[in-house]
Structure 1
Amino acid sequence: MRTRSTTLIAGAAAAVVALGLAGCATSDPTGSGGDAGESITIGSFAFSESEILAEIYAQALEAEGFTVERSLNLGPRQTTIPALEDGSIDLIPEYNGNLLSFYDDANAARTTEEVDTAAASVIPEEFQLLASSPAEDKDAYVVTRAKAEEFGLSSIADLAKIEPFTLGANPQFTEFSYGLPGLADVYGIADVAFQPIEDFGGADTVKALVDDAVQVADIYTTSPDLVAKDLVVLDDPEHIIAAQNVVPLINRSAYSAKLEQVLDAVSAKLTTDDLIALRERVEGSEKAQADVAAKDWLTEAGLI
Structure 2
Amino acid sequence: MLHRVFTCLALTLGLATAVTGPATAADKIVVGGKKFTEQQLVSEMTAQLLRANGFSVDKRPDLGSSVLRAAQENGQVDVYWEYTGTSLVIYNKVTERLSPEETYARIKTLDAQKGITWLNPSKANNTYALAMRKEEAGKEGIASISDLSKQLNAHKPYKFASNAEFFSRPDGLRPLQDMYGFEFERKNIVRMDGGLTYQALKDGQVNVALVLSTDGRIPAFDFIVLQDDKAFFPSYALTPVVRTPVLEANPKLGELLNTLSSQLDNDTIAKLNSRVDVGRESIEGVAKDFLTQHKLI
| Residue 75 in structure 1 maps to residue 63 in structure 2 | yes
How far apart are the structure 2 equivalents of 1:144 and 1:303? 37
Counterpart residue number, 2:4? none
Gaps of 5+ in 2: 1-21
Counterpart residue number, 2:228? 236
Counterpart residue number, 1:245? 237
| Aligned residues between the structures | 267
How far apart are the structure 1 equivalents of 2:66 and 2:210? 25
How far apart are the structure 1 equivalents of 2:126 and 2:32? 18
- Which of these residues, 103, 111, 116, is aligned with residue 115 of structure 1? 103
Using the size of structure 2 for normalisation, the TM-score is 0.73
- Does the 8 Å contact 1:74/1:80 carry over to 2? no
Using the size of structure 1 for normalisation, the TM-score is 0.72
Report % sequence identity. Answer: 26
- Cα 1:286–1:191 shift into 2, 3 Å: closer
- For 1:136, the aligned partner's letter is N
How far apart are the structure 2 equivalents of 1:226 and 1:120? 31
| Residue 94 in structure 1 maps to residue 82 in structure 2 | yes
Aligned CA-pair RMSD: 3.4
Deviation per CA, 1:161-204: give whole Å up to 9, x if none. Answer: 64533240337648855535434x4345x37555211114443x
Deviation per CA, 1:222-249: give whole Å up to 9, x if none. Answer: 4343133111112224321122221111
Task: Report how far residue 38 of structure 1 moved.
Answer: 8.7
Deviation per CA, 1:89-131: give whole Å up to 9, x if none. Answer: 3211122222233422353345422322232233243111111
- Which of these residues, 126, 140, 145, is aligned with residue 129 of structure 2? 140
| Residue 261 in structure 1 maps to residue 250 in structure 2 | no
Counterpart residue number, 1:126? 115
Structure with the greater alpha carbon radius of gyration: 1
- For 2:179, the aligned partner's letter is V
Counterpart residue number, 1:18? none
Q: Following superposition of structure 1 onto structure 2, how do residues 1-304 of structure 1 map, counting pairs within 5 Å?
A: 40-63=29-52, 65-73=53-61, 75-123=63-111, 124-150=113-139, 153-159=142-148, 162-163=151-152, 164=154, 165=156, 166-170=158-162, 173=167, 177-179=171-173, 181-183=175-177, 185-188=178-181, 190=182, 193=185, 195-203=188-196, 205-210=197-202, 212=204, 214-255=206-247, 256-284=250-278, 286-288=280-282, 290-304=283-297
Gaps of 5+ in 1: 1-28
How far apart are the structure 2 equivalents of 1:181 and 1:85? 28
- For 2:29, the aligned partner's letter is I
- For 2:296, the aligned partner's letter is L
How far apart are the structure 1 equivalents of 2:125 and 2:147? 22
- For 1:159, the aligned partner's letter is L
- Does the 8 Å contact 1:42/1:68 carry over to 2? no
